[in-house]
Amino acid sequence: MSTTINIVEIPKLADSKLLQDKAFINNEWVSAENGQTFEVDDPATGKAIRSVPDCSAADVKKAVDAAYKAFESWSQTTGKERHDLLRKLDAAILENQDDLANILTRENGKTFKESKGEIEYGSSFFEWFAEEAVRNYGKTIPCAIPNQRTFTISQPAGVVSIVTPWNFPMAMIARKVGAALAAGCTVVIKPASETPLSALAVCELAKRVGIPAGVINVTTSKENVKDVGTELATNPIVKKISFTGSTAVGKHLMSQASGTMKKVSMELGGNAPYIVFDDADIDAAVECAIPLKFSGTGQVCISGNRFYIHKDIYDEFATKLTKKVSDLKTGHGFAKDTSFGPLINDGAVEKVTKLLKDATDKGAQVKTGGQEANKRFFNPTVLTGMKDDMLITTDEIFGPVAALYSFDTEEEVIKRANNTPFGLAGYFYSRDIGRVWRVAEKIETGMVGVNTTEVNSANAPFGGVKESGLGIEGSYLGLDDYIVNKTIHMAL
């Protein structure tokens, strides 16, 4: 069954200069050297929003050179100077929150409410790392030699290449750029081709608040993305690469970066288990499952992928979840009654459809949803009767499908939850304090939510294990990947 999606009027921007259509190099808006462009589409309508430069490796080299020149002076600024500029950027972002959310909804498709939340969340990283910039301490180390002293100082790594995904086009940039700038690094950003406009809007604000030329650079690309990625990963001037995206691309970039021994941080794919034990607060587990699974149309790396429900409460959980999911409304991100918007592109719809068909062919039952609503819109779906041989068990869904598996024992579900090469986030619900400690320690993920799905904030470490990546973003640990510790031995 197909539903008609009402297309609404797009609100106008209060500040039209935030919607830019050029690359940003050395504080200048520039076209690609090759003159090529590509269109950025509204995923809800398929209509073009803007055409932006399809930059090549030559443009990236210019951006890297600009960042390297700026690094000479930016790396010598005090933590207080960097603090002040990052706080100004944070304030400017919040002052323009509605316009930035407008741009984000246009290019990504998520609801305006979600977009406003992302702007606030992303801005919190500029605030957080502004404060960390003045607390980047060294250490004095007791020395075994009587007339010698040993201590360390923290220095910025250098020019950083940053590659970000389309699902959080502002927040992923803020999380990386905030840390890099606080540490004294300069950056060259390659945003996703689907969502480059949010990155460019942040550049406009960075320029306005006085962040110096060359400190932040953005090169947009689509058809030339392979060459651009190679340049970012192999250019010897670049000393670190930070990437968020698929595991396959992350491995490729990491391999390329090894040629110049760059520092690397990777936030890659996930396959999050969501476990509900028989002693859990079922209503709370159902309530929290909704935003975890369906925010961003399910296109979130820490979204619940495999819902393991104890056999004694399976039917109750499935019934309650199905009722709530049935009330969700798919629609344009600017429509007031929309619960969530479209998938990002046609390929995303094809993937979700393929996974759904595989599951139903192998015996899964559709409790609600189960079909494309209209073009890139996909109805929110609940599947029961899931089995471990279905593709959804091993593949990241990245769509609005909640797949429910039944389990019997604690030992069994831990083994099944860990039976994946990925380990980004995991969640479980239980009121048994002993079980809480046991399961939290045994789940093989970088982050665990116990009776909560809120595992993502500027002050908490964010990162995965196994093939979900390496490195930490956010928190007091967030500067570590952007600094080098120099040890100094001094004779008296």
Q: Which residues are catalytic?
A: 267
The pLDDT value recorded for residue 7 is 64
* CATH (domain of 410): 3.40.309.10
* Residues 365, 217 within the same domain: no
The domain in which residue 261 lies consists of 16-268+468-489
- Summarised one tens digit per residue, pLDDT across range 168-216 is 999 999 999 999 999 999 999 999 999 999 999 999 999 999 999 999 9
Rounded to whole angstroms, how far apart are CA atoms 314 and 36?
A: 54
Contact partners, residue 87, CB within 8 Å, separation at least 6: 126, 127, 130
- Summarised one tens digit per residue, pLDDT across range 314-324 is 999 999 999 99
What sign does the CA torsion over 93, 301, 319, 432 have? negative
Q: How far is CA 264 from the centre of its chain?
A: 16
pTM of the model: 0.96
Mean pLDDT, to the nearest integer, of 473-491? 96
Percent of the chain beyond pLDDT 90? 96
Does residue 250 belong to any structural domain of this protein?
yes
* Mean pLDDT rounded to a whole number for the chain: 96
Does residue 10 belong to any structural domain of this protein?
no
Tally of domains within the chain: 2
The pLDDT value recorded for residue 2 is 42
Mean pLDDT, to the nearest integer, of 319-340? 94
* Residues 200, 295 within the same domain: no
The pLDDT value recorded for residue 1 is 38
* Residues 255, 344 within the same domain: no
223 pLDDT more than 60: yes
Q: What token pair was written down for 147?
A: 């007339």
E strands, 329-476, where?
365-368, 372-374, 377-378, 381-384, 401-407, 422-423, 425-429, 447-450, 465-466, 469-470
* CATH (domain of 78): 3.40.605.10
Place of tokens 């192998």: 362
Does residue 8 belong to any structural domain of this protein?
no
* Residues 449, 475 within the same domain: no
Vertex 347: Cα angle to 358 and 105 (nearest 5): 120
433 pLDDT more than 50: yes
- Summarised one tens digit per residue, pLDDT across range 336-367 is 889 999 999 999 999 999 999 999 999 999 99
Pairing verdict, β 447-450 and 425-429 = parallel
Q: Is 243 left (phi over 0), alpha (psi -120 to 50) or beta?
A: beta
